C-alpha cells in the first residue's frame, strides 16, 4: 500500500514538469509563432484544437500528420506549413495539445 501511494505521489509530482517540457518543445519548434494555448494568434489556440478533436477516434494520428505534412482549410484560409519535427516529437506535441482542453 505504501509503495503504491509513493508511486502515485511521485508520478503526480512529475506531471507539471512534463507539461512544461512539452510547452518548451512547442516553443523550440516555433509552434508558438502561430499558436497560443488560450487564444487565437495566426492559427487556432491549442485549447480550441483540443476542444474540436475531443473524443474523436484517431484524432491524435490525424493531427500528427497535419503537424508533419501541413494542413489547409480546417481553420480557415491560412495554411499551416509542414513542421520540422520528428514523428515522435509530433506525437508528444499533439498529446500535449489535446490535453489542454
CA angle 19, 64, 16 (to 5 degrees): 5
List 40's β-bridge partners, or say none. Answer: 35
Residues 63 and 75: their CA atoms lie apart, in Å, by 13
Chunked into runs of 10 residues, the chain (101 residues) has average pLDDT values of: 42 45 91 96 97 96 98 94 96 96 80
**The model scores a pTM over 0.85:** no
Cell of 56: 474523436
CATH architecture for the domain at 16-98: Orthogonal Bundle (1.10)
User: Domain ranges in the chain?
Assistant: 16-98
Amino acid at each position: 500500500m505504501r509503495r503504491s501511494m509513493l508511486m502515485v505521489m511521485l508520478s503526480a509530482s512529475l506531471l507539471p514538469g512534463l507539461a512544461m517540457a512539452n510547452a518548451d518543445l512547442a516553443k523550440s519548434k516555433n509552434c508558438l509563432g502561430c499558436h497560443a494555448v488560450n487564444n487565437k494568434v495566426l492559427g487556432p489556440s491549442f485549447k480550441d484544437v483540443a476542444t474540436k478533436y475531443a473524443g474523436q477516434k484517431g484524432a491524435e494520428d490525424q493531427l500528427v500528420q497535419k503537424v508533419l505534412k501541413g494542413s489547409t482549410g480546417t481553420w480557415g484560409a491560412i495554411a499551416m506549413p509542414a513542421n520540422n519535427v520528428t514523428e515522435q516529437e509530433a506525437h508528444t506535441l499533439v498529446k500535449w495539445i489535446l490535453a489542454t482542453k
